[in-house]
A and B are shown apart, each in its own frame.
Chain A
């Protein structure tokens, strides 16, 4: 009961802070823009030729209607992955740090709930808000695309699941930074810094060639394995959606491990804090 109340409170606060609605309207604006794009002449032409290809069961070289849809959905899912996560990080940081406001935290802690419950309630509440918006955006794009093209590949719906997974890891990091600094701004800056570092480390092979010192190469490799792998997550998503084989799932489980460690550290520090 208390856990549900804490989750519901997070959703209510997100709605009151207009965070939820800002996310919803941004998603709706994208859907409308996408609908508009699907009606421009170039797209209409492409769709018409795809329809002819499909009707005749023909392919043009390697190109088939199915392949075209795969490619388009792959591109769209990367857009959803980056845009959705960026929006979600902005939307969530303030909701976590709000828990620590003086005069508010004491009251919640004085209730017969554990500190872990309090923070996890916020964490899950945030995930619920982001999940609702991500599913709305992904399903929206999928439906528009399906109606227009007539191909209903469900693979694209995975974009919301993968984005939510990566966001849950980032949210664990936001939670850790918020517990340490009690500041929404600091947690946003730190999270985007982490993403930038992750993007740089994503080019590990190139860095290996550029770095002359073995220590530097080891450092890059160490950081690569420890930190979340945002670009790799996008790549895996693209592979899954376009039907390509995924070479390694290591980026997924190592990123999940980072998230678990960040979340556990945040909860542990919160247990030790004085308010």
Chain B
């Protein structure tokens, strides 16, 4: 099977010019994204997400390993013909109009002039900027730039769409609009790869996710499976240190939030034993529930693991 994205042991080590100190931004990431999938790449700041995406799009050279896009080495320009990309913190040429910018990036993507002429008004209309095509990008708001940025990523009808924080700076209505556009593309079989901090959005939209921590894949799987994991959760408020330590040893995961501790246990028996320990320590249980995590909880547990 040819994957939309396939990386094998991708490593990126940055060396400081003078001190020669090494920093492993990406440390052996191997992931596979099936064609037509909606994939979310998550991770805390500095986890290596953007470096990973940059290697995928030949902006950065891997120190080791390789990245393939539809079976072709990402370093070959031809492999990027089927990729649409919206970077984070993009800086579009402000001297161009919205339509001019789409025309420029369309030409770079190999779209002929006649097709560009036809596609540009359609795309501007799709992202709700049909009346802004002749306006210079310097006059666009952040949300408008994000939407026209999405349009430039779609100008050549890519098979793979790589979006880095696509909803950044977009108002709720705009976000819904972007989500609808992405759903439409998903139905057409376009593979969508999202790098985002907005976990709720990823949970709503993506079928698969990978959570990166310190340059490595810490967790990977279907969103449904990761969030519907079994188990029981005990919430404690201000647990003494010795009790917290003992429960941490028994729990499969612990989430700390403003002094409140959340312990996750695999079975009901384990949770009951933990409950007894808490009561024996004369401490009060805030709540004990059957666990069904949100993606945010899964994320926090994953990135806080030692």
Contacts and interface: CB of A to CB of B under 8 A. Distances in A.
Question: Does B associate with A?
Answer: yes
Interface of A: 1-2, 4-6, 9, 12-13, 15-17, 101-114, 272, 274-275
Contact of B87 (A1, A6, A16, A106): A106
Interface in B86-120: 87, 89-96, 100, 104-105, 107-110, 112-113
Contacts of B162: 110
B80 A112 contact: yes
Interface string B57-91: 11111000000000000000111110101010111
Contact of A107 (B60, B61, B90, B110): B90
B91 A104 contact: yes
Given A105-B59, A107-B85, A275-B54, A1 B110 contact: yes
Contact of A16 (B83, B90, B95, B112): B95
Contact of A106 (B14, B59, B81, B95): B59
Contacts, number: 86
B104 A112 contact: no
Contact of B96 (A6, A12, A17): A12
A114 B110 CA distance: 12
Contacts of A1: 107, 110, 112-113
B77 A110 contact: no
B87 A274 contact: no
Interface of B: 14, 54, 57-61, 77-81, 83, 85, 87, 89-96, 100, 104-105, 107-110, 112-113, 152, 162
Contacts of A16: 93-95
A110 B57 contact: yes
Given A102-B91, A107-B90, A274 B110 contact: no
Nearest to B85: A110
Contacts of B83: 110
B241 to A, nearest CB: 45
B293 to A, nearest CB: 34
Q: Which of A5, A13, A112 has the most CB of B within 10 A?
A: A112
Contacts of B87: 103, 106-107, 110
Given A17-B95, A104-B93, A112 B57 contact: no
Contact of B54 (A9, A101, A106, A111): A106
B69 to A, nearest CB: 11
Contacts of B112: 1
Closest 9 CB pairs of A and B: A16-B95, A5-B107, A103-B91, A111-B108, A110-B85, A112-B81, A110-B57, A274-B60, A104-B91
A111 B60 contact: no
A113 B77 CA distance: 5
A102 B152 CA distance: 18
A183 to B, nearest CB: 16
Contacts of B57: 106, 109-110
A76 B112 CA distance: 46
Contacts of B79: 112
A112 B85 contact: no
Given A4-B107, A5-B108, A103-B87, A272 B61 contact: yes
B60 A275 contact: yes
A5 B100 CA distance: 11
22 contacts: A1-B110, A2-B108, A2-B110, A5-B107, A13-B95, A103-B89, A104-B92, A107-B85, A109-B59, A110-B57, A110-B80, A110-B87, A111-B105, A111-B108, A112-B78, A112-B79, A112-B109, A114-B77, A272-B61, A274-B14, A274-B60, A275-B59
Contacts of B78: 112
A194 to B, nearest CB: 24
Nearest to A17: B95
A112 B91 contact: no
